[in-house]
């Protein structure tokens, strides 16, 4: 709103500082909003007519209590709903989750949009594994934090997925929601309904590449251990936000570990 009203970057930055926002992430947020505003003004009012975001589920504060841990919100966009969470999990928790996952990795799959089953695809070249809901104390703690932040019960979460990207591995641009037009969607929507939001937790610092890119928004989130990116893409009218198209960019140096939690409309059971 401030961008549309013609507020200067300096004025908005000063206001965000006073509200407790980190200066670096405040500058990033201002830049992203300016880019989005210019794109909307140039391309079409019709783009916004297709989807209106509901108020974000996350608390509107710079630092929030998430069950047993205090978490920072580095920046938050309102439409689409995208936020950077800081220090969601500790360094030790990151290391433990990696250690628990390393011995049981398999090639990552994608949804077969025709059948609703899983398939191996060149669009996703990582390896990964899953942890069932509450499978161990660490997973249970993380799930409680996510529930506290979003207001969605733990039962609405899918199993926690941990992914490992080696140099050259990537995940091409995709949506996390299930397209109702796809023949296979009816099967995956049967338990829990549609996905409403995604949380991607960065478990290590990446030497090169590995950004989470939102190409429609000109936004890159660089992996930083303990941080997470959260985004919502289903509103109360059951509209789906295509702007949340995102990609895991190729790792160019080192490796990348992430944990992903998908959240559903209702209780999910496999």
- pLDDT tens-digit profile of 22-40? 777 777 777 776 666 665 4
Query: Tokens in use for 60?
Result: 């509107």
* Confidence tier at 18 by pLDDT (50, 70, 90): confident
Checking if the pLDDT of 88 tops 80, the result is: yes
Q: What is the pLDDT of residue 95?
A: 99
Task: Determine what percent of the chain is predicted with pLDDT higher than 90.
Answer: 73
Checking if the pLDDT of 6 tops 60, the result is: no
Q: What is the largest CA-CA distance in the chain?
A: 54
Checking if the pLDDT of 44 tops 50, the result is: no
- What pLDDT, in 10s, does the model give residues 92-148? 999 999 999 999 999 886 555 565 556 556 667 789 999 999 999 999 999 999 999
Report the CATH fold assignment for 52-264.
Jelly Rolls (2.60.120)
DSSP state of 250: P
Return the number of other C-beta atoms located less than 10 Å from residue 204's C-beta.
20
Query: Do the beta carbons of residue 250 and residue 166 sit within 8 Å?
Result: no
CA distance 97 to 143: 13
Please state the domain extents for the chain: 1-50, 52-264
CA distance 186 to 106: 26
* Confidence tier at 17 by pLDDT (50, 70, 90): confident
Average of pLDDT values for 74-92?
A: 98
Handedness of CA 127, 218, 244, 83 (dihedral sign): positive
User: Which tops the pLDDT comparison, 72 or 45?
Assistant: 72
Lowest-pLDDT choice from 3-12, 69-78, 208-217, 242-251: 3-12
Lowest-pLDDT choice from 41-45, 210-214, 226-230: 41-45
Q: Which residue has the tokens 């439409």?
A: 79
Burial of 133 (0-12, 13-18, 19+ CB in 10 A): middle
Average pLDDT value over all residues in the chain: 89
CA distance 126 to 189: 25
Query: Tokens in use for 79?
Result: 């439409």
Peptide bond into 28 cis (omega under 30): no
Query: Do the beta carbons of residue 200 and residue 88 sit within 8 Å?
Result: no
Query: Strand locations in 10-126, DSSP E?
Result: 63-66, 69-78, 81-86, 106-107, 110-111, 118-119
């Amino acid at each position: 709103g401030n961008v549309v009203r013609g507020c200067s970057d300096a004025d908005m930055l000063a206001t965000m500082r006073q509200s407790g926002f980190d200066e670096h992430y405040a500058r990033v947020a201002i830049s992203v909003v300016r880019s989005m505003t210019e794109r909307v003004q140039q391309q079409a009012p019709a783009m916004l007519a297709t989807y209106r975001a509901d108020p974000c589920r996350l608390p509107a504060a710079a630092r929030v209590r998430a069950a047993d841990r205090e978490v920072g919100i580095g920046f938050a966009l309102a439409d689409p709903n995208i936020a950077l969470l800081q220090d969601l999990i500790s360094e030790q928790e990151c290391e433990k989750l990696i250690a628990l996952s390393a011995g049981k990795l398999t090639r990552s799959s994608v949804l077969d949009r025709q059948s609703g089953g899983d398939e191996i695809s060149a669009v996703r070249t990582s390896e990964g594994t899953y942890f069932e809901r509450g499978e161990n104390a660490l997973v249970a703690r993380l799930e409680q934090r996510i529930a506290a932040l979003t207001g969605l019960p733990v039962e609405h979460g899918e199993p926690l997925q941990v992914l490992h990207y080696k140099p050259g591995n990537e995940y091409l641009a995709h949506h996390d929601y299930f397209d109702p037009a796809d023949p296979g969607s009816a099967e995956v929507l049967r338990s829990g309904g549609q996905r409403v939001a995604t949380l991607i937790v960065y478990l290590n610092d990446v030497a090169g590449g590995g950004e989470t890119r939102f190409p429609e928004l000109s936004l890159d989130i660089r992996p930083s251990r303990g941080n997470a990116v959260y985004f919502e893409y289903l509103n109360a009218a059951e509209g789906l936000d295509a702007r949340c198209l995102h990609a895991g960019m190729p790792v160019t140096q080192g490796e990348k570990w992430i944990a992903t939690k998908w959240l559903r409309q209702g209780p999910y059971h496999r």
